[in-house]
Structure 1
Amino acid sequence: MHVAFVIAELAPYAQVGGLGAVAADLPPALARSGIDVTLVVPRHEGLRGLGTAGPKAIPTVAGSASCWIGEIDGVRLVTVDVEGLFGDGPVYQTNDLDRFGRFSVAVPAVIEAIGPPPDLVHVHDWHASLTAVATEGTPTILTIHNLAHQGWFEPDDVWGLSGLVERDGHVGMLASGIAGADMVTTVSPTYAAEIQTPELGMGLDDLLSSRGVTGIVNGIDTEEWDPASDPNLAAPYDAAHLEGKAINRAAVLDAFGIPDNNSLVAAVISRFDHQKGLDLIPDAIEPFLADGRMALIALGTGDPALQDRYAELAEAHPESVGYRAEFDVGLAHLMEAGADVFLMPSRFEPCGLNQMYSMRYGTIPVVHRTGGLADTVAPWDASTGNGTGFAFDSLTPAALGVEIAAALATRTEEAEWHQLVRNAMSRDFSWDASAREYARIYSDLAKASL
């Protein structure tokens, strides 16, 4: 089977968020499962050196397109420019509605011109959604990674497309892709159900529920995130040899200037944004900080008010709270290895990655039961010895505090805690697992279209 995989970013060359990691990791995993993948990405500045064959000029209804063809990690890579809109500056710019609109409309003509024809076209988020509308005669799948960004624009030019979704004089790229694709997926089963409700559907719940949405959990790079070989750690370890985790604990506490008094070490690594629920944490942990049972290490930037709140917390508890308003990849890895628990009280979370990194490193997630957090973190049950973390339903500091208290109590039972850690580290969050699910729906959709 040949699949054209159309997406806006590609890590590490042109990446702003998690979309770039999906483009870098899922196509090679699909290729390992026997699927022939053509990865189609805008020719951003950071991608200039990757396509060696080209440029090939292709006329399209969205303007003159040029493409370059290369290979990356066993996958054919096609980078596309339209009317010179890509190639200079950052990945995202002020004229993105025009840039990505033209890109996504041009892609079917580019695919047809370079061949061979795909059996299926898989597009991602609003940036590529119009490819699903413009593609004729080939089944299409749209995957929603972030429903909050929908690509609404005033339709001065719709490039001859029909079947577009309009509201209040604007055309929605994502909405049109949802309406036009043969299948709609998102990045976890629970989030798939949530976005079909008014609470989390962001104005598209009726359209989504009329189409139906399939959820497949994203994977993580299990080579980059491997405590047995991670060069950012003070000592390697694995599920059978956990001694190195204590060495990493000492190293990360030292990095934050916090003495080790055998308290529960909780980590936060996040964009500081209202969505992430980080405003719940200070009030939830205050009692545990006051009696010395807990320490907090936090890393990230974003909302200035949230940053100030964490800085104030660190100033009030210098012996137990450390906060760095920055993002440091190496330190993030060390925090995952050295902490006991990872706090992730997101208001909503399509998939989430840090809870999976944490379990990979034997650091127990404490999460709000929503989206991908609900699908990846199984609540600990001491009576059966099953589970990989702690989860709460009510989005309040008190509810979060209850689960932190449960983690503290479990940690005092050494055998239970070690079982919990081993459970977490045994989970398979590789992209290969996700690729198997995508390969299944590719096959089903291709057969249904015959």
Structure 2
Amino acid sequence: MNILLAAAEINPFAKGGGMADVTSYLCVEWGEMGHDVIAVLPGYKSIDKAAYGLRKTDISFEVPMGFGKETATVYSGSFPNSEARIFLIGHDEFFDEDYVYGDRNEDEDDDRRFLFFCKAVPELCKAINFSPDIVNCHDYHTSFIMPILKAQYKDETLFAKTGTVFTIHNLSYQGIYDKYRVMDFTGLKHKEFEVGSWFEHEGKVNFMKTGIMYADRILTVSPTYAEEIKEPYYSEGLQDAINSRLRDITGVLNGVNYRDWNPITDTFLSKNYDSGSLGIKEELKLEYLRETEIPETRHHLPLISFVSRLTEQKGLDILENKIAKLLNTNKFILAILGEGQAKYEDLVIEAKNQFPDNVILQLKYSEREAHRLIAASDFLLMPSKYEPCGLTQMYALKYGTIPIVRATGGLADTISNYSAEKGTGNGISFPHYNRDELEASIRRAIDLYKSKDHIEKIRLNGMAENHSSRRCAKGYLEVFKEVLDDKS
């Protein structure tokens, strides 16, 4: 199968969030399974092209944009330790910045940047003579590839049998822009943008809706999220569009790249361990705590980590009114790694200042520190308001770190509440998004920590599970095959 994956972020070349990890391992896994895979990514200035062996090709082509044309340049290379190919679409203005997404401190130009990218992808295929069986577009940034293929390349032999699959990573980010600008940039007919059209939503062009309406099939990143987005609470205003495509939506649970996230081989750890050597995990915890300001007399307490962006989505609003009360018990240590909204950064800074012996705070995210903290922690806290999938809880399971989660989206699909009577379950889960259930779950974790037998059982249950990226990649391929069967 010839597969083209298009995304705004792909690890290790450009990363803004978890989507970069998923798009990366999908390409690598498909390549290892014998498929001809190319990934296409904007050629951001921030990408260290020399470090990744990406070379500038002699390929260039013009892309019509409104009343003029813009020239695209192309870099090519491959994924580290893989035959899967990567192509970067370059432009001196659109991607000549250090950020992946628009600069939030200035007027955003993401509509123009990503429309240029979407229009360049089919031209790249022509330039390298690649005939994709499947074009897999990830999130709103790449959605316009699909209507452009249908409207402007329908007579091209190269795309005669191409199927399209749109992956929704997070419905909250929709790409909402002025429809007159987008009309001019796309070259599509103006009547296509009228009220009620597949592009339009509430008087604007909505890139996410465009992807939902024009894809042959739609994927979400977990089965539960695929069901949740049918409801008004989770549909982010796009319930009508989603309901019109219900039969075409499938949830495929994201996976973990165990090449990078595995305590047996993790190069960020001073010592490696597995389920048979959990004593080393305790050594890593003490090693981590000795590097902090936490008094040594407190190192025996459970270490609960929060490794995430500091946003309302991640549960900071229900933690806000409980954090001081919980920390005042002096029964656990809270380690926070991540950055985010100013109000929540202020919240955790205040907690650190008020409880210096109980709180570890690092506002600048670091991949190295994320690995070390997850390995060192006894529990991982993820009380999300909604979570399309989440990867961190699956990392935690592999490292014997017990997730405390709110049962939503992928958290509901991966974490089951521990039963002390049956010895089943891999974490602590609470169903309703409220402060009291969050507090009760943290208190339960503290109580469970007093029993080494229970803690070890939960850890072993989690470490025995398989949430591999290969499983996820196979799930995608099953949907791809269905699309191609429908077209044959």
TM-score strictly above 0.5: yes
Contact 1:367–1:390 (8 Å) recurs in 2 = yes
2:356, 2:60 → 1: CA distance?
Answer: 61
One-letter code of the match for 2:7?
I
Contact 2:253–2:472 (8 Å) recurs in 1 = yes
2:83 to 74, 86, 93: 74
Deviation by residue 1:312-362 (Cα, 9 ceiling, x = unmatched)? 223333332222332233222221111111111111111112111111111
1:89, 1:404 → 2: CA distance?
Answer: 39
Q: 1:120 to 1:421 in 2, by over 3 A?
A: same
Which deviates further from its counterpart, 155-164 or 189-198?
155-164
Once the two structures are superposed, the pairs formed by residues 318-397 of structure 1 within 5 Å of their partners are 318-397=356-435
Q: Return the offset for 1:89.
A: 4.1
SS at match of 1:240: coil
Match of 1:110 in 2: 124
Q: Return the offset for 1:415.
A: 2.2
Deviation by residue 1:278-323 (Cα, 9 ceiling, x = unmatched)? 2333544555544432221122222232223222223333332222
Match of 1:145 in 2: 169
1:329, 1:122 → 2: CA distance?
Answer: 27
Match of 1:130 in 2: 144
Q: Return the offset for 1:199.
A: 0.7
TM-score (norm 1): 0.93
Once the two structures are superposed, the pairs formed by residues 55-70 of structure 1 within 5 Å of their partners are 55-62=58-65, 63=69, 64-70=71-77
Once the two structures are superposed, the pairs formed by residues 160-179 of structure 1 within 5 Å of their partners are 160=188, 162=192, 164-179=198-213
One-letter code of the match for 1:201?
S
Between Structure 1 and Structure 2, how many residues are aligned? 450
SS at match of 1:443: helix
Contact 2:221–2:254 (8 Å) recurs in 1 = yes
Which deviates further from its counterpart, 75-84 or 346-355?
75-84
Contact 1:256–1:297 (8 Å) recurs in 2 = no
Contact 1:14–1:47 (8 Å) recurs in 2 = no
Contact 2:49–2:55 (8 Å) recurs in 1 = no
One-letter code of the match for 1:218?
N
Which deviates further from its counterpart, 20-29 or 314-323?
314-323
Contact 1:48–1:87 (8 Å) recurs in 2 = no
Match of 2:35 in 1: 35
Once the two structures are superposed, the pairs formed by residues 398-413 of structure 1 within 5 Å of their partners are 398-413=436-451
List gaps (5 residues or longer) in structure 2.
103-107, 151-159
Q: 1:423 to 1:59 in 2, by over 3 A?
A: same
Match of 1:263 in 2: 301
Deviation by residue 1:374-428 (Cα, 9 ceiling, x = unmatched)? 1111211223222111111222221012222322333333222211101111222
Contact 1:272–1:307 (8 Å) recurs in 2 = yes
SS at match of 2:234: coil
1:54 to 57, 64, 68: 57
Check if 1:305 corresponds to 2:343. Answer: yes
Q: Return the offset for 1:208.
A: 1.1
TM-score (norm 2): 0.86
Once the two structures are superposed, the pairs formed by residues 233-248 of structure 1 within 5 Å of their partners are 233-248=269-284
SS at match of 2:232: coil
Check if 1:184 corresponds to 2:191. Answer: no
Q: 1:179 to 1:410 in 2, by over 3 A?
A: same
Match of 1:44 in 2: 44
Q: 1:77 to 1:321 in 2, by over 3 A?
A: closer
Match of 1:159 in 2: 187
Match of 2:313 in 1: 275
1:233, 1:291 → 2: CA distance?
Answer: 31
SS at match of 2:19: helix
Match of 1:202 in 2: 236
